[in-house]
Amino acid sequence: MRIVLISTPIGFLGSGQGGGVELTLNSLVFGLLSLGHKVDVIAPRNSKLLKSNEKAKLYLVDGEGQISWQHQNYNSPVTIPDNSLLAEMLEKGLSIAKQSDVVLNMSYDWLPIWMTLNYETPIAHIISMGSESSVISNLISKVYAKYPYNFAFHSKVQAKDYPFIKKPIIIGNGFKLDDYNFQASVKGPLAWVGRIAPEKGLEDAVYVANKLGEKINVWGLIEDKTYASKIEQSFPKGAINWMGFLKTDELQKELGKCRVLINTPKWNEAYGNVVVEALACGVPVIAYKRGGPSEIIQHGQTGYLADPDDKESLLSYVEIIEKISRRNCREWVENNASSDIFANKVVNWLNKVINEYK
Ligand code: UDP
């Protein structure tokens, strides 16, 4: 199969602004190449693919990015800036798509989904968020009526945000397991990883650490500075160890030393890459029973699921975290979320999409 992959217009690959999509894209490319497929990637200028993905052809595009939908009002209209990066990425992608079997879009935005109705090469979409925009959800509903196979979701609970999709295609997610080393350290610090933005609920994890009289190590891009400093000011000085945004290699080395990852999203997290990355290092995870993490974490086996927004429940699970076998955590990822497993699911799905056009 020859696949043209359109990246996110929110940030270049490696910037961290694109969130989990950046890592998902690279592990998917890796999986697709290992299965012998040909992949062209269209991404913003400065993007880098993993070294192991050098067989993929990377096309870099300039332009003005989009505002991420989770930071706009649900009923906001679509805005496309002058010199639009998204439009340029599509123009490039569609121009080479003529020699391809399928375009695989990873940007959560209106334009590529709308193009599906007006282009003869199939355009398939990995929907990377819950419903964050009425205009996009309504468009997905319209396109779905004509092309029922063209949308895939990371988790069942994410797909529930699109109730008009009767039998959602769930592809989970995949990780290049060689990039994560198992660590047996059970006595390490508390960890939190993610974009520092209100939908991620960092304050609840800091609350737990503070109650335990501990500091918490926080990795990730500070996307919302006002939000970050508000959290800092509401706890005693030094409660948070800001560890910065690290590349996967360094992140996994540090994260693997921790005794638990506390994951506290306030929104319907589509998947939650950081949950699986922690598990891959042998780090159990405590999360709210909400969104993707509620389908990933095996309660009592690879971590614990607390009632949504119940910080005391998070705290009580941290106190018994040593009951979780770190080996179980790694094994779950090996059996359920490797890049091979993920790429196979994606290929099966894309074959259905391609057949629909025949
Ligand atoms: N991440 C990273 N370095 C860091 C912190 C986070 O590369 O220091 C990456 C992490 O690997 C993950 C992404 O940021 O792929 C966050 O994705 P997630 O699915 O957890 O949430 P999203 O940002 O997509 O809402």
Cα(193) to ligand 1 centroid in Å equals 7
C-alpha dist (Å) from residue 152 to 80, 129, 270, 295, 356: 25, 11, 11, 16, 15
Cα(316) to ligand 1 centroid in Å equals 26
Mean pLDDT, rounded, for 168-197: 97
Average pLDDT score over the chain: 97
Backbone angles phi, psi at 55, to 5 degrees: -70, -15
Quote the tokens at residue 215.
Answer: 């500091």
Identify the residue whose C-alpha is closest to ligand 1 atom 23: 19
pLDDT for 314 equals 98
Atom of ligand 1 nearest to the CA of 22: 15
Cα(303) to ligand 1 centroid in Å equals 19
Report the alpha-carbon distance of residue 89 to residue 42 in Å, rounded: 6
Q: What domains does the chain contain, in order, with CATH numbers?
A: 2-175+338-356 (3.40.50.2000), 177-336 (3.40.50.2000)
Mean pLDDT, rounded, for 294-301: 98
Mean pLDDT, rounded, for 5-33: 97
pLDDT for 156 equals 98
User: Which H/E stretch holds residue 332?
Assistant: helix 326-336
Identify the residue whose C-alpha is closest to ligand 1 atom 17: 20
Residue of 50, 273, 295, 296 to test ligand 1 pocket, by largest number of atoms within 8 Å of CB: 273
pLDDT for 90 equals 97
Atom of ligand 1 nearest to the CA of 275: 20
Confidence of residue 125 (pLDDT cuts 50, 70, 90): very high
For the chain, strand residue ranges (E) read 2-6, 38-44, 57-61, 102-105, 123-127, 151-153, 169-170, 190-193, 216-219, 240-244, 260-263, 285-288, 303-306
Residue of 158, 195, 222 to test ligand 1 pocket, by largest number of atoms within 8 Å of CB: 195
Cα(167) to ligand 1 centroid in Å equals 28
pLDDT for 124 equals 98
Cα(129) to ligand 1 centroid in Å equals 14
Report the alpha-carbon distance of residue 164 to residue 159 in Å, rounded: 10
Ligand 1 — pocket residues by CB below 6 A? 16, 19-20, 23, 193-195, 219-220, 245-246, 248, 251, 271-274, 277
The total number of residues shown for the chain amounts to 358
Residues in CB range of 320: below 8 A, 6 or more apart: 304
User: Which H/E stretch holds residue 96?
Assistant: helix 85-97
Mean pLDDT, rounded, for 309-317: 98
**What is the percent of the chain with per-residue pLDDT over 90, rounded to a whole number?**
99
Atom of ligand 1 nearest to the CA of 24: 15
Alpha-carbon dihedral sign for residues 332, 333, 339, 345:
positive
Q: Rounded to two decimals, what is the model's pTM?
A: 0.97
Quote the tokens at residue 280.
Answer: 């891959």
Q: Starting at the earlier edge strand, list the strands of the sheet with 38-44.
A: 57-61, 38-44, 2-6, 102-105, 123-127, 151-153, 169-170
User: Which H/E stretch holds residue 30?
Assistant: helix 20-34
Q: Starting at the earlier edge strand, list the strands of the sheet with 240-244.
A: 240-244, 216-219, 190-193, 260-263, 285-288, 303-306
pLDDT digits (tens, 9 = 90+) for 282-296: 999 999 999 999 999
Confidence of residue 185 (pLDDT cuts 50, 70, 90): confident
Cα(194) to ligand 1 centroid in Å equals 5
pLDDT digits (tens, 9 = 90+) for 58-98: 999 999 999 999 999 999 999 999 999 999 999 999 999 99
Cα(19) to ligand 1 centroid in Å equals 5
Report the alpha-carbon distance of residue 6 to residue 253 in Å, rounded: 30
Cα(277) to ligand 1 centroid in Å equals 9
Contact yes or no for 130/356 (Cβ under 8 A): no
Alpha-carbon dihedral sign for residues 209, 212, 214, 217:
negative
pLDDT at 320 over 90: yes
pLDDT at 148 over 90: yes
Atom of ligand 1 nearest to the CA of 246: 8
pLDDT digits (tens, 9 = 90+) for 199-222: 999 999 999 999 999 999 999 999
pLDDT digits (tens, 9 = 90+) for 29-54: 999 999 999 999 999 999 999 999 99
pLDDT digits (tens, 9 = 90+) for 134-147: 999 999 999 999 99
**What is the percent of the chain with per-residue pLDDT over 70, rounded to a whole number?**
100
